[in-house]
Amino acid sequence: MEKEQLDHFLHLNRRSFLAKTAIGIGSLALGSLLDACERGETEAVNALLPHFAPKAKRVIYLFQSGAPSQLELFDWKPKLREMHGQELPASVRQGQRLTGMTANQTNFPLIGSKIDFKQYGSNGAWVSDLMPHTAKIVDELCIIQTMHTEAINHDPAVTFFQTGNQQPGRPAIGSWMSYGLGSENSNLPAFIVLLSRGQGNIQPLASRVWGSAFLPSIHQGVQLRGGADPVLYLKDPAGLDSLSRRQMLDEIAHLNQKHLEAFGDPETGTRIAQYELSYRMQTAVPELMDISREPDQSFRMYGADAMVPGTFAANCLLARRLSERGVRFVQLYHMGWDAHTDVTGMTSRLAKDVDQASAALITDLKQRGMLEDTLVIWGGEFGRTNYGQGKITDNYGRDHHPRCFTIWMAGGGVKPGMVYGKTDEFGYNIEENPVHVHDFQATLMHLMGIDHERFTYLYQGRRFRLTDISGKVVQDIIS
């Protein structure tokens, strides 16, 4: 079916969009506008998204699952080397609650990083030797050293970062963006998820962290998987060629059309349109996944791993291709950073997985002129303690630390070449400019042109927000 005809169907079925939230994938802002409209005039405010001119049109979020050690990567604390093996002063710890893993520990011996740090870029940002590629692009990054969170364990902390609440039941950031802003590409979902695994201590994820919760399921993150069937059920069975598929779809459309004429339910028209969209997706996704025509330069930049489907590097390259095609929110997860033991070895291995490709993504976006309106985020769910877990051996690890940790952001209206916030010399507490998870979310939305306090969804009588009841935009990091 041609575009005109599809548009005709979509037009025909406005009413049913209204009544039943039947929204085409990537239906631009149309979906959210009509959906909001149904909820009455009070919700019309959502229909006016974006609230102001956005600086970023899309997001690529490189989530480092398991919590990377800021003390081995971005937050250089020579004091810890000096005091290696000495007890963390109680005046610093201030009775911060501990995880069950170190709660019974009687000593909290400080441990210095074995990794050296050097200063890079025009602002002299400290970056460890584990991140040589990232070090070269620090002038593009805004490194936030003072993130802090409320959760001290993985499941609630990842859920908090992605949904604004530690307990399940709220939509993911990407779902909010899909709901509010839709997609710029009508053949691809607005919210896409890519997973990869490193050689580390892997903590599981739950698909709810890309779930739409109370938002309509069209806003669920759609997982794009390495291998033959990148989107579930996308591939036609072997033995069914595209002509037969087309003939099938035509026959389905023909019979559905008769039913629509007989019964007059606009929902039937919506169904016809959705079958056409699924057919277009079947073309759009393989085209997207086909990296055979990427120039050699891409693989030199992202690394040889980028040719291996399912690696972090391959996912970074795909993220760029998705952003090029207008996908609103691309969410990567790289799993394995949970270094309760061997923080040096594990962090080294994981850094090797992600350093080159993360830096390449920034460079690549910049070269293509996309960095200015693409927001890239790199970081995990919390940080790691400045004291060792268990006895200090060569193989020491670090426990979970929610009070300060580092993430970086780049592009999309964020100030480049900036190190924001300051932690104390122990790397334990924040000295200036704390950034709470809700502040981070508020800032992300602000960059996307959304006022986080006005962007709400009425569910069970309450207006829910991604930032729950708090969150301040970090104006200092916005260019």
Map tokens 């962007």 to a residue.
455
Question: Which range binds other proteins by CB under 8 A, 319-327, 371-379, 419-427, 452-460?
Answer: 452-460
* 8 A C-beta contact, residue 139 and residue 416: yes
Q: How far is the CB of 229 from other proteins (least distance, A)?
A: 6
d(CA 441, CA 471): 7
Q: How far is the CB of 259 from other proteins (least distance, A)?
A: 5
User: CB count, 10 Å around CB of 123?
Assistant: 14
Given the complex with other proteins, which of 99 and 123 has the nearer CB atom?
Answer: 99
Q: How far is the CB of 158 from other proteins (least distance, A)?
A: 10
Q: Does 470 bind other proteins (CB under 8 A)?
A: no
Map tokens 């004429």 to a residue.
261
* 8 A C-beta contact, residue 142 and residue 365: no
Where in 90-149 is the site for other proteins (CB under 8 A)? 97, 99-101
Given the complex with other proteins, which of 268 and 298 has the nearer CB atom?
Answer: 268
Q: Does 287 bind other proteins (CB under 8 A)?
A: no
Q: How far is the CB of 119 from other proteins (least distance, A)?
A: 35
Q: Does 48 bind other proteins (CB under 8 A)?
A: yes
In single-letter form, the type of residue at position 460 comes to: Q
Q: How far is the CB of 102 from other proteins (least distance, A)?
A: 8
Where in 144-203 is the site for other proteins (CB under 8 A)? 152-155, 167-169, 195, 202-203
Question: Which range binds other proteins by CB under 8 A, 273-281, 298-306, 406-414, 421-429?
Answer: 273-281
Given the complex with other proteins, which of 269 and 421 has the nearer CB atom?
Answer: 269
Where in 307-336 is the site for other proteins (CB under 8 A)? none
Q: H or E element: which one contains 377?
A: strand 374-379
When binding is defined by CB under 8 A, the residue of 33, 322, 375, 450 that contacts other proteins is 33
Residues 6+ apart with CB under 8 A from 286: 230
Given the complex with other proteins, which of 119 and 247 has the nearer CB atom?
Answer: 247
Q: Does 8 bind other proteins (CB under 8 A)?
A: no
Given the complex with other proteins, which of 237 and 295 has the nearer CB atom?
Answer: 237
In single-letter form, the type of residue at position 110 comes to: L
When binding is defined by CB under 8 A, the residue of 53, 263, 394, 475 that contacts other proteins is 263
C-alpha distances out from residue 416 to 52, 99, 339, Å: 22, 35, 30
When binding is defined by CB under 8 A, the residue of 5, 11, 42, 107 that contacts other proteins is 42
Given the complex with other proteins, which of 25 and 314 has the nearer CB atom?
Answer: 25
Map tokens 């956005």 to a residue.
54
* 8 A C-beta contact, residue 391 and residue 382: no
Nearest CA to 337 out of 171, 151, 442, 205 is that of 205
d(CA 473, CA 413): 13
Where in 214-243 is the site for other proteins (CB under 8 A)? 216-218, 220, 222-223, 225, 227, 229, 231-241, 243
Q: Does 295 bind other proteins (CB under 8 A)?
A: no
Which class for 450: exposed (0-12), middle (13-18), buried (19 or more C-beta within 10 A)?
buried
Where in 194-213 is the site for other proteins (CB under 8 A)? 195, 202-208, 211
d(CA 90, CA 78): 20
Where in 400-429 is the site for other proteins (CB under 8 A)? 400
* 8 A C-beta contact, residue 70 and residue 347: no
d(CA 142, CA 416): 5
